[in-house]
C-alpha cells in the first residue's frame, strides 16, 4: 500500500519522491539502452556467423563480452550518478523560507522567503502524467514569467516532483505566503 507523500514543515530536508527518481533514471539511461541494443545485435551476429564463416569465431566472443561489460558499466555508472543527483536535490520548509539544496560536486542552496512568493504553478506534460510527476515553479517578486519558448530562469523550480507532493507543497507555500489559490471554474 503506497502512502500519499506530504510536506512535513520543519522536519528537515525532504526528497522529491520515488517517482521522480524513476523519471531521472529513465531520462539518463539512453546510452545504456543503445549499448544494450548493440550487444543484442552482436550476439545475434556472432551466433549466425556474420563475423566469420564458422559460427562462434574465437575472437567474436570477446567482442560480445566487451560490449556486455560496457553495457553493465554504463548502466551502473548512469544509475549511480542519477541517484546522487536525486539524493542531493532536496527541499525544506523552514520557519521563514523555502530552502532548496542541490548539486553533487558544486553544492547550491537557495532560500526563497515566503513573503516574496507570489504564485506557485504546477505544470504537467504528457510524459509527466504517465510518470505521476509534475514541474513546480515558484514565482517570486522580481522575477518575470518566462515567455513561450524560453526557459524559466526562476530559482524556485523543481524540474520533477511527485504530483501529490507538488500539490501538498503548493498548498503549504501559498498558505505560508498568504496568497489565495485561484482556480479556474467553468
pLDDT per residue as tens digits for the range 111-159: 999 989 888 899 999 988 988 999 999 988 765 555 554 554 456 888 8
Residue 114 lies in a domain: yes
Lowest mean pLDDT among 4-8, 105-109, 143-147, 168-172: 143-147
DSSP code for 14 = B
Model confidence at 4: pLDDT above 80? no
Residue 137 lies in a domain: yes
Residue 91 lies in a domain: no
Residue 76 lies in a domain: yes
Residue 125 lies in a domain: yes
Residue 167 lies in a domain: yes
Residue 20 lies in a domain: no
Residue 185 lies in a domain: no
Model confidence at 10: pLDDT above 50? yes
CA distance 176 to 97: 9
Residue range 83-95: average pLDDT?
91
* Number of structural domains in the chain: 2
Tell me which residue range forms the domain holding 66: 25-85
The predicted pLDDT at position 147 comes to 53
Measured at the CA of 29, the angle between CA 28 and CA 35, to 5 degrees, comes to 135
Phi, psi of 2 (to 5 degrees): -90, 135
Helix-helix angle 60-87:30-48, to 10 degrees: 170
* Stretch (H or E) spanning 90: strand 90-93
Amino acid at each position: 500500500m503506497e502512502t500519499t507523500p506530504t510536506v512535513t514543515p520543519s522536519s528537515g530536508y525532504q526528497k522529491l519522491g520515488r517517482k521522480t527518481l524513476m523519471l531521472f533514471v529513465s531520462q539518463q539511461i539512453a546510452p545504456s539502452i543503445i549499448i544494450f541494443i548493440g550487444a543484442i545485435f552482436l550476439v545475434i551476429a556472432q551466433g549466425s556467423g556474420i563475423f566469420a564463416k564458422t559460427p562462434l569465431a574465437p575472437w567474436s566472443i570477446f567482442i560480445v563480452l566487451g560490449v556486455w561489460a560496457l553495457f553493465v558499466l554504463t548502466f551502473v555508472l548512469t544509475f549511480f550518478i542519477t541517484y546522487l543527483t536525486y539524493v542531493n536535490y532536496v527541499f525544506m520548509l523552514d520557519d521563514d523560507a523555502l530552502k532548496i539544496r542541490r548539486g553533487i560536486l558544486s553544492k547550491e542552496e537557495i532560500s526563497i522567503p515566503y513573503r516574496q512568493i507570489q504564485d506557485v504553478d504546477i505544470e504537467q506534460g504528457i510524459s509527466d502524467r504517465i510518470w505521476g510527476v509534475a514541474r513546480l515553479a515558484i514565482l517570486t517578486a522580481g522575477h518575470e514569467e518566462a515567455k513561450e519558448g524560453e526557459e524559466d530562469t526562476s530559482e524556485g523550480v523543481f524540474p520533477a516532483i511527485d504530483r501529490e507532493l507538488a500539490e501538498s507543497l503548493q498548498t503549504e507555500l501559498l498558505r505560508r505566503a498568504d496568497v489565495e489559490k485561484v482556480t479556474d471554474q467553468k
